Amino acid sequence: MDKPTVHSLTWTVTDDMTAKRIGSAGAQILSTPNMVALMEACALELAKAYLEEGTTTVGAEIHCRHLAPTPVGMKVTATATLRSLEGRKMWFDIEVNDEKGKCGEGSHLRIVVKPKNLTEKAHAKPQQ
């Protein structure tokens, strides 16, 4: 069976996901950080099809453009396409659409890691 190269994920915008909630512009619209979270979650789900047992991915880079507002109650869908797989690096192109059309786009880099190694690196950092 071939591995998928495209995955979509849909969320419904809630009050907790709004720009007003994070203190930006006071608007009851999908915040950019929440759009980014949707994009990242979508790419993560697609990445899972490529992982060996005992590995996961972490987000390393994201570029996005938030093109149009999406109100509370509307569905918003991210569609991630795997652009390239280079060793441990997985590059995705992502488009975001709400019920009225395109509202965001971007690219995202995920790195394949072993959770144990990631935890060890984090704990090796000096605490203040």
Residues assigned a catalytic role: 32, 40, 66
Looking at the chain, list the stretches that DSSP marks H as alpha helix, in order from N- to C-terminal side. Answer: 32-47, 115-124
Burial class (CB in 10 A: 0-12, 13-18, 19+), 116: exposed
Q: Residue 116 phi/psi, 5° resolution?
A: -60, -45
- Residue that is written with structure tokens 């509307």 in the block: 74
